[in-house]
Structure 1
């Protein structure tokens, strides 16, 4: 069963997923700390370059299937125009109400 973004329990994660699914890059960046970092399949990536390519430049969309760890861990079917749909895991670290790091990869 897919969870809608408003069903996500952690407010920072909910705001990030909502912005991602709306294709709103400015709102997405506003959910992050200025020094936010990320990794994809265990390798650190340049956050703005990666999100520009994997999310906003390819119409990324996240259908959340489950959440755990007080809403800081998600399993989602993620799709974009480059890779199609894949089952992914997402883990978020939040500092002062904003996402300071996220880690994603195939689930």
Structure 2
């Protein structure tokens, strides 16, 4: 199963340069990297990235993350994937820009 992380342009560039990331400031504050499922990603973008340009959508295979990936209750009582270690670039399956169209992020085929 693929899970998704939304990065700001500078966060994504830094991960590519470093080969890994401990996440965005919110991830560092919470002690884990926040991910979303395909069904959760659009709501995550709307809630936490409304109107933001220059975003990247990154897909990761949840099965490859091992026991450090935990499914925990979050927004609306739903289970969300949380990674309790740095994410390595080698674990990224694909990445693509997440454009803003008419004020809404365009997830394309993921939607």
**TM-score scaled to structure 1, two decimals?**
0.29
Higher normalized helix content (fraction of residues): 2
